[in-house]
Amino acid sequence: MAEVAVYGAWASPLSKRVEIVLKLKGVKYEVIEEDMSNPSVWLQNYSPILKTVPVLIHEGDPVVAPNVILEYIDETWTGNPIFPQNPKDRAKARFWIKFIDEKCVPAVMLACWGREMVQQMATQEAYNCLKALEDELRGKKFFGGNNVGAVDIAAIFIALWLGVIEEINGVKLLMHDQFPLLSRWVNDILSCSIIQETLPPRDQLITYLRTHNPNSFPSGT
Amino acid sequence: MEEVKLYGFGPSPFSYRVIWALKLKGVKYEYIEENLPMKSPKLLQHNPVHKKVPVLVHGGKPISESLVILEYIEETWPENPLLPKDAHEKAMARFWIRFAEDKYPTLNTFFRTVGQDQQLAIKEALKVLQILEDQALGNNKFFNGNTVGLVDISFGWLAYWFDCIEETAGAKIIKSNNLPRLHEWIKNFKQIPVIQENLPSRDKLLAYLKTKREKILSCIFIPNGH
């Protein structure tokens, strides 16, 4: 095995988060592709509690949980930091990553995939989350400022997966006139070459998510 | 030195996480008790997204979410470190801190349920606690090793609040014979002076929990015949 390996899944936004950060820092790594519905014995061995992707293996030792992995990578390979240096700004970044994983993504998933009874409430919650992110982008090109940072990387779900699940379900949440800054951010982040080359192709993702239950995605632990 | 303020709520274990971390590092702060469920204008100004306690305000800048605050405290006041230095051990600690957060609802479901639902909830809570006993604690005195750390602080509510929750809900889950090492950790954690001197009044906590459980149960649909 290479010095750095990632147990990942091509359709998982959490897996891709880890790959993007490694690429931004120029760290060479090997991907071991996992089937999310049937985790391998190796994955279960390295991640006995979560039993899910992504898992980073560095010098033979596993690091699990996507945001724990991000912090580990940033501290181990210090070039091109993705977290701010200042503790207050770093706390803000951690806050927004938590917000995206624990509030925004679940609300969006329910708004698109939930049963009618919950959909209306979830749609309002999704709008509130997107509005909070829109406000956070005011005066900035990226959530990280002039450069892509950890929050931008955590938000790639919105840049790609959101549009895909909107299309599959015939729902529109991220409307340009309501969220102009967030819409512009989506274009900007997808124009970054490293992110472009790491993310899965949109049409493949649409085909995959039409037939696979998105609730089988690991949650943002 | 910049001023430190903490907006908290007496019965909340999340507020105490922050208090313990500040005290363990000898950081002076002003504590402002929020009269929940009413929220002061200052709290809403400092935490407009979640509108919750605890909020730490340092030099006028607010930080919210207890686990984000803990990391901030660790980085801003590096004396008496509460996280391991080694990158891999730190990652493991962070994993357990996230686990503490994620499993908090599972460990509390038995408080919100009765009858068969409660029995099921107790089973699920036991599974989580067994993982803590075997994999997080192992043979260590504390989750952090020989001294207390952020992982212990994150699980700290198990050492005091959990017993009150058990009593209110009429269940006994952590016992010396089923989870001996966790039971021992509870004893050791409560003996640390900073922790011992910074716990809410047991009577007040029990009274608060009793009212809370009554409110919750009054909303549960009881089918005919019960």
DSSP one-letter code for A92: H
Q: What pLDDT score was predicted for residue B222?
A: 57
Percent of chain A with pLDDT over 70: 95
Q: What pLDDT score was predicted for residue A35?
A: 87
Q: Which of B32, B72, B73, B70 has the alpha carbon at shortest distance from B53?
A: B32
Tens-digit pLDDT string for chain B (226 aa):
789 999 999 899 999 999 999 999 999 999 999 888 888 888 888 888 888 889 999 999 999 999 999 999 999 999 999 999 999 999 999 999 999 999 999 999 999 999 999 999 999 999 999 999 999 998 999 999 999 999 999 999 999 999 999 999 999 999 999 999 999 999 999 999 999 999 999 999 999 999 999 999 888 765 554 4
DSSP one-letter code for A143: T
3-state secondary structure of B53: coil
Q: Are A113 and A215 in contact (CB under 8 A)?
A: yes
Count of alpha carbons within 13 angstroms of residue A111, beta-carbon side: 25
pLDDT in tens, A122-131: 999 999 999 9
Q: Which ipTM did the prediction report?
A: 0.88
Q: B88 — contact with chain A (CB < 8 Å)?
A: yes
Sheet hosting strand A61-64, strand order edge to edge: A30-33, A4-8, A55-58, A61-64
A87-96 burial string, b = 16+ CB within 10 Å, else e? bbebbbbbbb
Which DSSP helix (H) or strand (E) runs through B64? strand B61-64
Tokens of B208: 């608060």
Of residues B219 and A10, the one with the higher pLDDT is: A10
Q: What share of chain B is helix, strand, coil (3-state, %, to 5)?
A: 60, 10, 35
pTM of the complete model? 0.91
Residue A115 burial by Cβ neighbours in a 10 Å radius (0-12, 13-18, 19+): exposed
Tokens of B104: 């908090």
Q: A135 — contact with chain B (CB < 8 Å)?
A: no
Contact check, Cβ <8 Å, B90/A75: yes
Min Cα separation A72/chain B (Å):
6
Residues 102-131 of B with CB under 8 A from A: 102, 131
Min Cα separation B203/chain A (Å):
34
